[in-house]
């Protein structure tokens, strides 16, 4: 079975500071990993995905994540937080079939303060 | 182009009522997923269609939940005899089968059972 664990249900950073949202995965097969963002009363938007190509993945809005097999981690980072980054972030894992269901973590709410 | 749409966006039902939630996937997407997102939680998989075939319904919580996609496009999730624990946001996602592992999410239907 596959699963992801997101450490920290709430993270608060100052505007301009580094954003680091943690995700660790558990999978018996090489996983595909995703980060999604959810703004209030909206659906999920894909930020980036890892599908066994480059281990450092760049996404939208300046976010990136690095797949580290030795640490079973896929942490999300952004060098400089912006007020508009305040949202809920979900890490997810899927199998490698072309239409596999996603298993999500419990989410991390990012707060950005002035 | 148009994204995934869902209707209604909000639904209030009295306990014991039946409800039907609609999902219009992106045109040409053959895979369609339903997820349930309880308050403060990550989405959880309910069921998956490839065209009109329901290939995985392992996440449906009870036999009160039923999903269909008769013509391989629009899908309906039906909940019979709603219970308070059914209150959640129901998310629909679609994806291309070949060469893409990205799921595109709709805005969700927020169901409140009173």
**Least CB–CB distance from A51: residue in B93, B101, B110:** B101
* pLDDT bucket at A99, cuts 50 / 70 / 90: low
Please tell me the predicted confidence (pLDDT) of residue B85: 96
Tell me, yes or no, if A7 comes closer than 8 A to chain B by beta carbon: no
Give me the pLDDT at residue B49, please.
92
Q: State the best of A31, A44, A87, A107 to mutate against chain B, taking most chain B CBs within 10 Å.
A: A44
Q: Which chain B residues are closer than 8 Å to A90 by Cβ?
A: 42-43
**3-class DSSP string for B49-86:** EECCEEEECCCCCCCCEEEECCCCCCEEEEECCCCHHH
Q: Distance from first CA to last CA of chain B, Å, rounded?
A: 37
Residue A52 or residue B4, greater confidence = B4
CB burial class (10 A; 0-12, 13-18, 19+) of residue B76?
middle
Pairing status of strand A19-26 against strand B19-24: unpaired
Q: Is B77 exposed, middle or buried (0-12, 13-18, 19+ CB in 10 A)?
A: buried
Q: Among residues of chain A, what percentage have pLDDT more than 70?
A: 96
pLDDT at B2: 81
Q: Shortest Cα distance from A43 to chain B (angstroms)?
A: 4
Give residue A96's pLDDT.
63
pLDDT of A53? 76
Phi-psi label, residue B99: left if phi above 0, alpha if psi -120 to 50, beta otherwise: left
Each residue's pLDDT tens digit, B75-99: 999 999 999 999 999 999 999 875 4
Per-residue pLDDT reduced to its tens digit, B7-58: 999 999 999 999 999 999 999 999 999 999 999 899 999 999 999 999 999 9
**How far, in Å, are A2, A20, B2, B15 from residue B63 at the CA level?**
25, 41, 33, 16
Q: Do A32 and B101 touch (CB under 8 A)?
A: yes
Q: How far apart are CA B23 and CA B97, in angstroms?
A: 18
Percent of chain B with pLDDT over 70: 96
Contact state of B45 with A41 under an 8 Å Cβ cutoff: no
Would the pLDDT of B1 be above 60? no
pLDDT at A66: 94
Average pLDDT over residues A71-94: 95
User: Minimal Cα–Cα distance from A108 to chain B, Å?
Assistant: 10
Using CA atoms, how far apart are residues B54 and B57, in angstroms rounded to an integer? Answer: 7
Q: Which of B101, B104, B107 to mutate to test the interface with A (most CBs of A within 10 A)?
A: B101
pLDDT value of position A30: 73
- Is 70 exceeded by the pLDDT of residue A91? yes
Helix, strand, or coil here: B25? coil
Question: Mind listing the pLDDT tens digit for each residue in A54-70?
Answer: 889 999 999 999 999 89
d(CA A35, CA A64): 9
Q: What is the pLDDT of residue A110?
A: 97
At residue A37, does pLDDT exceed 60?
yes
Query: Which whole number is the average pLDDT over A15-31?
Result: 90
């Amino acid at each position: 079975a596959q699963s992801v664990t997101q450490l920290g249900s709430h993270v608060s950073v100052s505007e301009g500071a580094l954003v680091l949202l943690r995700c660790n995965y558990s999978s018996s097969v090489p996983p595909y990993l995703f980060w999604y963002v959810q703004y209030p009363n909206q659906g999920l938007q894909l930020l980036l995905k890892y599908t066994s190509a480059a281990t450092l993945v760049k996404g939208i809005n300046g976010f990136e994540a690095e797949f580290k097999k030795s640490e079973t981690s896929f942490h999300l980072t952004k060098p400089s937080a912006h007020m508009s980054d305040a949202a809920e972030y979900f890490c997810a894992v899927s199998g490698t079939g072309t239409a596999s269901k996603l298993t999500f973590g419990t989410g991390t709410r990012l707060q950005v303060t002035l | 182009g148009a994204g995934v749409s869902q209707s209604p966006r909000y639904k209030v039902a009295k306990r014991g009522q039946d409800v039907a939630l609609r999902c219009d996937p992106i045109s040409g997407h053959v895979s369609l997923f339903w997820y349930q997102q309880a308050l403060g939680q990550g989405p959880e998989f309910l069921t998956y269609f490839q065209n009109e075939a329901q290939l995985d319904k392992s996440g449906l919580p009870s036999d009160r939940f039923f999903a269909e996609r008769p013509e391989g496009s629009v899908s309906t999730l039906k909940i019979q005899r709603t219970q308070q624990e059914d209150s959640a946001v129901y998310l629909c996602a679609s994806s291309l089968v070949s060469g893409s592992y990205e799921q595109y999410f709709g805005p969700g239907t927020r169901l409140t059972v009173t």
